[in-house]
């Protein structure tokens, strides 16, 4: 089988490409591929069968590239910390800061796609989105006046009790804070270690 010129050229190309690996792994890889080819290609194989098997294996460069160690995972830098800060507080800058944080979040290689969606969807606008809710929940009250003097004010509960509104408000404030804490913790843990 190794006398077939097509296979011989393929193995020579593999030997040259494997120089990028350490010597022990290069020898091991060459032996694995050669053993595979001896098993997969019968002695009376046609040129088309040989070429099909070599094509199925992939080029020698692809085989060697698959053996090389992966690059180290992205570590959190100023890009990621700016994204976290802007997602939480950027909404106070006419929402432009929050959108900038969103762009930084999605352009980072530090987070998975699901984590990026969480940072995007959980309370868009960050804490700035909560301000109108604070005004609504805090000022919803009716006052009784006698002779122009306010005697008593009671919170307006509407269809739900006032405490439900405050609970909702607390959850809405906790959402962006919890999300940014989660993203910060994930940024410290490289993706490959998760």
CA-based nearest residue to 164, from 193, 188, 133: 133
The tokens 């979040």 sit on which residue?
Answer: 105
Of 119, 46, 115, give the one whose Cα is nearest residue 86: 119
How confident is the model at residue 56, as a pLDDT?
93
The reported pLDDT for the residue numbered 193 is: 42
- Looking at every residue in the chain, the average pLDDT score rounds to 81
> What's the pTM?
0.48
pLDDT of residue 155: 62
Kindly state the average pLDDT of the residues 109-135: 79
Report the chain's C-alpha Rg in angstroms: 32
pLDDT confidence of residue 10: 94
Helices 23-40 and 5-17, interaxial angle, to 10°?
160
Is pLDDT above 80 for 160? no
Q: How far is CA 25 from the centre of its chain?
A: 32
Q: How far apart are CA 193 and CA 5, in angstroms?
A: 45
Report how far residue 177's alpha carbon sits from residue 110's, in angstroms, rounded to the nearest whole number: 19
For 112-126, what is the mean pLDDT?
83
- Please spell the DSSP secondary structure of 52-118, one letter per residue: HHHHHH--HHHHHHHHSPPPPPPPP-HHHHHHHHHHHHGGGTTTHHHHHHHHHHHH-SSS-HHHHHH
Q: What is the pLDDT of residue 158?
A: 54
């Amino acid at each position: 089988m190794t006398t077939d010129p097509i296979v011989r050229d393929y193995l020579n190309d593999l030997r040259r490409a494997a120089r990028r690996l350490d010597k022990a792994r290069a020898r091991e890889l060459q032996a694995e591929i050669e053993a595979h080819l001896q098993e997969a290609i019968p002695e009376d194989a046609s040129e088309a069968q040989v070429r099909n098997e070599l094509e199925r294996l992939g080029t020698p460069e692809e085989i060697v590239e698959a053996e090389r160690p992966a690059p180290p995972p992205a570590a959190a830098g100023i890009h990621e910390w700016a994204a976290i800060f802007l997602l939480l507080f950027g909404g106070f800058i006419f929402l432009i800061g929050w959108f900038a944080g969103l762009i930084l979040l999605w352009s980072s290689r530090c987070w998975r796609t699901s984590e990026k969606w969480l940072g995007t969807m959980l309370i868009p606008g960050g804490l700035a989105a909560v301000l109108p809710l604070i005004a609504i929940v805090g000022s919803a009250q009716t006052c009784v006046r006698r002779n122009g003097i306010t005697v008593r004010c009671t919170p307006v509960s509407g269809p739900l009790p006032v405490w439900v509104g405050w609970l909702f408000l607390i959850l809405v404030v906790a959402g962006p804070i919890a999300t940014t804490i989660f993203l910060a913790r994930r940024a410290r843990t490289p993706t490959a270690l998760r």
